[in-house]
Chain A
Amino acid sequence: MAGNHGIHKWKWVIFFLSPSLIGLLVFMVGPLLYSLRLTLYDWNLLSDPVYVGLDNFKDLYHDAEFWASFKHTLTYIAIYTPSVLALALGVSLLLNRPLRGVAFFRAVSFVPVVSSWVVVSLMWKWIFNPRYGLLNYALAQIGITGPNWLFDPDTALYAIIIAGIWKDIGFITVMFLSGLQGIDESYYEAAKIDGAQMLQRLRHITLPLLTPTTFFALIISLINSFQVFEQAWLMPEDYARTGTSVVVEQIVNYAFRYNRMGYAAAMSWVLFAAIFAITIVQIRLQKRWVHYDL
């Protein structure tokens, strides 16, 4: 090709690549390396940075508040992940049936996904209001006295998890829907001939063939839920905060409220390490349960 060799080629490579490359170096790779270096310093942005070696990590190890936030994040993940995957699977099976008007229902289930976390958090905060909220009113109609939700450190985290599940169902659902549509129809034809009932077909064909999608959805929701922030930051009432602080919230607090940049950077690397570790574990485990064929 005329333009594809010699000096001309390099001119074009530089022309096309440099905006992105320079941008990534300045706003991504540079900050990434800088963040790693920052973990070795004590710095409040005003006075000179003080080199402290690994002290930030040592302090972090003894920081009960940080580990509490880590535990809240893990609790969030432990309830959120299986619930959202199971519910999304159910919804995708509902939405996969070729019914008239199903497109409408698909569109509706995706509306929370396009809404911002801030809107969803405040909307649910109002619904969870123990006296004037919709939820406890509905519970009262069936004879249940609802808890104080976001006013109570013992229940606030669960309210946040419920809102999180509600927001993300549609997002995992579309993943499952595309997975379902990728399953070859001939498997079902064959099963019908063998007289397999609906539930048998679900168990022996749909679920196994959906495991690659499930695996992908699991990885994505784990990565996302480790980074849970807006809902935990905006939803709880102040006195319930101790029961809901999550890792990212601690990072934000230490960086922007207490001005301890190095310490906050160390926290962010612990978060990164946790995400990395769980992703690797999942990839290792996938051989045991992910089927790419029947």
Chain B
Amino acid sequence: MTESQLSHAAAAPTAAPLHLNKWIVDLLYYAALILLSLVMLIPFAWMLSTSLKPTEYILSVTPQFIPNPATLDSYRTLFDLMPMGRMLGNSLFVALAGAGGQVLVSAMAAYAFARIEWRGREIVFLLYLGTMMVPSQVTLIPLFILIRQLGWVNSYQGLILPGLFSAFGTFLLRQAFLSLPRDLEEAAFIDGATHFTIFWRIILPLTRPALATLAVLSFMQYWNAYLWPLFVARQEIFMTLPVGLAKLQGGPRALTQWNVVMAGAVVTVLPILIAYLFAQKWFVRSVTLSGIKG
């Protein structure tokens, strides 16, 4: 008897109840999935709802999910309190430049490790892997001292450059470059192409998925970063959104204006959520591959 016949034979006597069973199980799964989605989405819904409420409605003991009356006042207050447009621009610029730079630098190094043979390559690569194990807190203090010495506190290069050189990016792209067949560039070399041409015209176009994965990961890290920009961007004109947002919280005695804080949170999270909507696959892939939290 074949396998399918066997399983058919086993299932046959109870075919009808089993069918019903599957339907009930599916229903239970859907119930659990809906519960899960509520747990994941209600906090965001509550954030949005709070941001649309007038100040006097915030401190109501019975929560009101649909703001009535709804108003954009807290967004207006937010933009009055802080140069939000500037911060949004800073975040975008830092994240785009950081992602672009990291992909380029990592791809170049990955090419040297994957497509050129040279003495000492393995040892240098091992040293690269070693740097991946160091927690960022260990280099935080000397890095800050360095940036200060260079006069880069309150500067875009101070925000972008220290995070640009990730051994992880090189590692990720090297894997992708190695997966391409060796004789791929043979013909091009015979035609007199240089390594740069091979890199730019052949290797990069063929490994777009890996490049996109790294770009998304890098963008997300720069966009969401808090600790480093907190100390590098002291002036508001260099602040990125998370730093500005955290500053909105009231001090020990000041009352936090929660509708304004939630408006700030909406402005901070919306761009990355829109990006996620369009590039879901790459977001999921980059986060699993890196094992780094956002």
- A contact set with B: CB distance below 8 Å: 1-4, 9-10, 12-13, 15-17, 19-21, 23-24, 26-32, 34-35, 38, 45, 91, 94-95, 97, 99, 102, 105, 107-119, 122-124, 126-127, 129, 131-132, 134, 137, 166-168, 170-171, 174-175, 178, 189, 192-193, 195, 216, 220, 223-224, 226-227, 229-230, 234, 238, 248, 251-252, 255-256, 261, 264-265, 268-269, 271-272, 275-276
CA distance A261 to B145 in the complex (A): 9
Q: Which residues on B sit within 8 Å (CB–CB) of A248?
A: 137, 227
Q: A13-B112, A114-B276 are in contact. List 4 more A-B contacts (CB 8 A).
A: A94-B29, A105-B36, A115-B224, A116-B294
CA distance A113 to B290 in the complex (A): 13
Q: Which residues on B sit within 8 Å (CB–CB) of A137?
A: 61-63
B199 at the interface (CB under 8 A from A): yes
CB-contacts of B1-57 with A (<8 A): 3, 6-7, 10, 26, 29-30, 32-33, 36-37, 39-44, 46-47, 50
CB-contacts of B234-260 with A (<8 A): 242, 245-246, 249, 252, 258
Q: Which residues on A sit within 8 Å (CB–CB) of B224?
A: 115-118
Q: Which of A1, A23, A45, A193 contacts B189 (CB 8 A)?
A: A1
B108 at the interface (CB under 8 A from A): yes
Q: Which residues on A sit within 8 Å (CB–CB) of B165?
A: 19-20, 23-24, 27-28
- B contact set with A: CB distance below 8 Å: 3, 6-7, 10, 26, 29-30, 32-33, 36-37, 39-44, 46-47, 50, 58-63, 105-106, 108-109, 111-113, 116-118, 124, 128, 131, 133-146, 148, 161-162, 164-165, 167, 170, 185-186, 189-190, 192-196, 199, 220, 223-227, 231, 242, 245-246, 249, 252, 258, 261-262, 264-265, 268-269, 272-273, 276, 280, 283-284, 287-288, 291-294
In the complex, are the beta carbons of A1 and B109 less than 8 A apart? no
CB distance from A49 to the nearest CB of B (A): 11
Given the interface pairs A10-B118, A119-B265, A127-B46, the reply to whether A238 lies near B140 with Cβ below 8 Å is no
Most chain B CB within 10 A, of A34, A118, A189, is at A118
Q: Which residues on A sit within 8 Å (CB–CB) of B262?
A: 122-123, 126
Q: Which residues on B sit within 8 Å (CB–CB) of A45?
A: 145, 148
CB distance from A189 to the nearest CB of B (A): 6
Q: Which residues on A sit within 8 Å (CB–CB) of B242?
A: 116-119
Q: Which of B32, B245, B252 contacts A118 (CB 8 A)?
A: B245
CA distance A189 to B223 in the complex (A): 46
Q: Which residue of B lies closest to A104 (CB)?
A: B37
In the complex, are the beta carbons of A126 and B261 less than 8 A apart? yes
Q: Which residues on B sit within 8 Å (CB–CB) of A129?
A: 258
In the complex, are the beta carbons of A123 and B43 less than 8 A apart? yes
Q: Which residues on B sit within 8 Å (CB–CB) of A264?
A: 141
Q: Which residue of B lies closest to A175 (CB)?
A: B288
Q: Which of B40, B116, B135, B164 contacts A4 (CB 8 A)?
A: B116
In the complex, are the beta carbons of B273 and A114 less than 8 A apart? yes
Q: Which residues on B sit within 8 Å (CB–CB) of A10?
A: 118
CB distance from A16 to the nearest CB of B (A): 4
Q: Which residue of B lies closest to A186 (CB)?
A: B3
In the complex, are the beta carbons of A1 and B29 less than 8 A apart? no
Given the interface pairs A109-B36, A110-B284, A192-B7, the reply to whether A251 lies near B140 with Cβ below 8 Å is yes
